[in-house]
């Protein structure tokens, strides 16, 4: 018997460490770095890092493009942090909130030499922790001894990276009858992943026949739209519209995936909204923050459908990406059912951007 944490458990721990402002140790065969999320970096921890070595900032290629910093590495830029700058300088590079007030942040000279794989892993971890994707790091000799002495989480890249990139299996945890406005014959199922990540839900309407394509909706969480009735998007009316149609047909399954803000988390979505208040569209705002247009993992939806016994769906969506992902993960999409509801004066431009830039069908 061993109580040592598995790699999956260590990754879950690393996510929490980064959110709490603790550094983590990442290792490759012949190298190691000590990495900390810029979002939760404090002046005291920055001083600790500086006492150990020269600090470098890793930013995604998306954020680097906004800052006009050269990208020599695959998907990211490494920028040396001058010894005389303070935490505000670092955080202003990571967070675009003040970009328009302080447009000249450079010139920034990105590193060309040396490996970028460990900073890339650190950035992937900050994304999965739903933090701003920006990391301060130093090179570390004697990583194993250092991690042990300082009680820090250590992740070897060779085993951690494949797990971070794969979709964790989801297991049913609990289910119960749930009469709803849309249908009195409802059932809510809760699914939990192995990796300490978010739980996701399936709402079954009626008693769908598993041998036939089921009317299905993959809905991504939108606290602002679903709960608050925000008019900035169409999520609330889409959620209610999908349930209503399933109610009318007396059968269907709605997957409620906790991938708020197209997978960037609610805090980052509010950062994106604040950039939208400055005039950027939904895609530009994600890019300025350092994210891709869409950071969701739709493999989760296929995994839940399979777990519930479905293999074919009539998918309610306007997003061709969702259809492609379903097909790739082995769930047949026999029909696309359009879901066009909730357009208003506040979300018209947002919906037009999704059609123009993200390939959404009108
Ligand atoms: N990052 C970001 N996310 C947003 C914004 N507006 C809405 N969202 C999120 O976008 C997601 C919308 O999800 P969906 O309704 O499933 O999807 P969709 O890709 O538009 O596709 P369909 O509705 O199926 O056509 C939710 O997670 C919202 O929280 C925004 O401006 N920025
Ligand atoms: Zn929304």
**pLDDT at residue 362 tops 70:** no
CATH number assigned to the domain comprising residue 60: 3.90.870.10
**pLDDT at residue 345 tops 90:** no
Q: Say which ligand is closest to the CA of 263.
A: 1
Co-location of 109 and 194 in the same domain? no
Domain final position from 122, 147, 163: 163
pLDDT tens readout for residues 267-314: 999 999 999 999 999 999 999 999 999 999 988 999 999 999 999 999
Residue nearest atom 11 of ligand 1, based on CA coordinates? 262
Cβ atoms < 10 Å from Cβ of 304: 22
The catalytically annotated residue of 139, 294, 314, 336 is 294
Domain final position from 147, 163, 179: 163
What is the band of 227 on the pLDDT scale with cuts at 50, 70, 90?
very high
Whether 37 and 45 have beta carbons less than 8 Å apart is answered as no
**pLDDT at residue 104 tops 70:** no
The catalytically annotated residue of 63, 78, 187, 296 is 296
CA of 354 to the centre of ligand 1 (A): 9
Residue 128 CB less than 6 A away from ligand 1 = no
State the sign of the Cα–Cα–Cα–Cα dihedral 169, 19, 259, 255: positive
Nearest CA to 111 out of 39, 58, 46, 33 is that of: 58
Co-location of 186 and 120 in the same domain? no
**pLDDT at residue 359 tops 90:** no
Co-location of 313 and 179 in the same domain? yes
Query: Who wins on pLDDT, 351 or 53?
Result: 53
Whether 46 and 55 have beta carbons less than 8 Å apart is answered as yes
296 is catalytic: yes
Residues 6+ apart with CB under 8 A from 41: 21, 87, 90, 91, 136
Tell me the pTM: 0.95
For residue 276, tell me if it sits in a domain: no
Residue 262 CB less than 6 A away from ligand 1 = yes
Residue 347 CB less than 6 A away from ligand 1 = no
Q: How many domains does the chain fold into?
A: 2
For residue 268, tell me if it sits in a domain: no
Question: What tokens appear for 4 in the block?
Answer: 């040592």
Co-location of 128 and 250 in the same domain? no
Burial category of 287 from C-beta neighbours within 10 Å (exposed 0-12, middle 13-18, buried 19 and up): buried
For residue 58, tell me if it sits in a domain: yes
In DSSP terms, which residues pair with 337 in a beta bridge? 316
The confidence score (pLDDT) of residue 342 equals 80
Domain final position from 163, 178, 196: 163
Ligand 1 atom with least separation from CA of 316 = 24
pLDDT tens readout for residues 304-321: 999 999 999 999 999 998
Residue 47 marked ligand-binding: no
DSSP for 188-212, please give it.
EEEEEETTS---EEEEEES---TTS
Structural domain boundaries, residue 245: 170-259+296-357
Query: Who wins on pLDDT, 210 or 355?
Result: 210
Residue nearest atom 23 of ligand 1, based on CA coordinates? 317
φ, ψ at 284 (rounded to 5°): -60, -40
Q: What count of Cα atoms within 13 Å lies in the side-chain half-sphere of residue 319?
A: 17
Query: Who wins on pLDDT, 356 or 207?
Result: 207
Residues 6+ apart with CB under 8 A from 333: 312, 313, 314, 315, 323, 326, 327
- The overall average pLDDT reported for the chain is 94
pLDDT tens readout for residues 125-148: 999 999 999 999 999 988 889 999
Whether 204 and 172 have beta carbons less than 8 Å apart is answered as no
CATH number assigned to the domain comprising residue 200: 3.40.50.10990
For residue 234, tell me if it sits in a domain: yes
Q: Give the largest Cα separation in the chain, rounded.
A: 66
For residue 224, tell me if it sits in a domain: yes
Q: What is the ipTM of this complex?
A: 0.96
DSSP for 49-94, please give it.
HHHHS--EEEEEHHHHHHHT----SSSEEEEE--TT--HHHHHHHH
């Amino acid at each position: 018997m061993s109580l040592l944490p598995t790699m999956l458990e260590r990754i879950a721990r690393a996510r929490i460490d980064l959110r709490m402002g603790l550094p983590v140790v990442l290792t490759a065969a012949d190298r190691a770095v000590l990495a900390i999320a810029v979002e939760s970096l404090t002046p005291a921890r920055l001083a600790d890092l500086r006492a150990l070595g020269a600090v470098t900032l890793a930013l995604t290629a998306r954020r680097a493009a906004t800052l006009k910093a050269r990208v020599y590495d695959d998907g990211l830029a490494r920028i040396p942090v001058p010894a005389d700058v303070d935490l505000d300088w670092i955080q202003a590079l990571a967070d675009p909130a003040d970009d328009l007030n302080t447009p000249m942040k450079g010139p920034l000279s990105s590193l060309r030499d040396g490996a970028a794989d460990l900073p890339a892993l650190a950035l992937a971890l900050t994304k999965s922790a739903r933090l701003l994707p920006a990391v301060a790091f130093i090179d570390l000799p004697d990583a194993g001894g250092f991690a042990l002495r300082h009680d820090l989480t250590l992740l070897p890249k060779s085993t951690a990276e494949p797990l971070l990139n794969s979709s964790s299996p989801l297991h049913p945890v609990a289910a119960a009858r749930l009469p709803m406005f849309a249908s009195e014959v409802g059932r809510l199922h809760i699914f939990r992943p192995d990796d300490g990540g978010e739980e996701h839900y399936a709402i079954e309407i009626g008693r769908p026949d598993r041998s036939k394509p089921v009317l299905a909706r993959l809905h991504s969480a939108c606290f602002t739209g679903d709960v608050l009735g925000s008019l900035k998007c169409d999520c609330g009316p889409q959620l209610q519209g999908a349930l209503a149609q399933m109610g009318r047909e007396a059968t269907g399954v709605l997957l409620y995936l906790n991938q708020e803000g197209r997978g960037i988390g609610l805090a980052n979505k509010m950062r994106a909204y604040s950039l939208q208040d400055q005039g950027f569209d939904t895609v530009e705002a994600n890019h300025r923050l350092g994210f891709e247009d869409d950071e969701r993992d739709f493999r989760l939806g296929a995994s839940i459908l399979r777990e519930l016994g479905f293999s074919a769906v009539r998918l309610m969506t306007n997003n061709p990406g969702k259809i492609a992902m379903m097909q790739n993960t082995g769930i047949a999409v026999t029909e696309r059912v359009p879901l066009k509801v909730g357009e208003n004066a506040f979300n018209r431009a947002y919906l037009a951007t999704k059609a123009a830039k993200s390939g959404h069908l009108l």
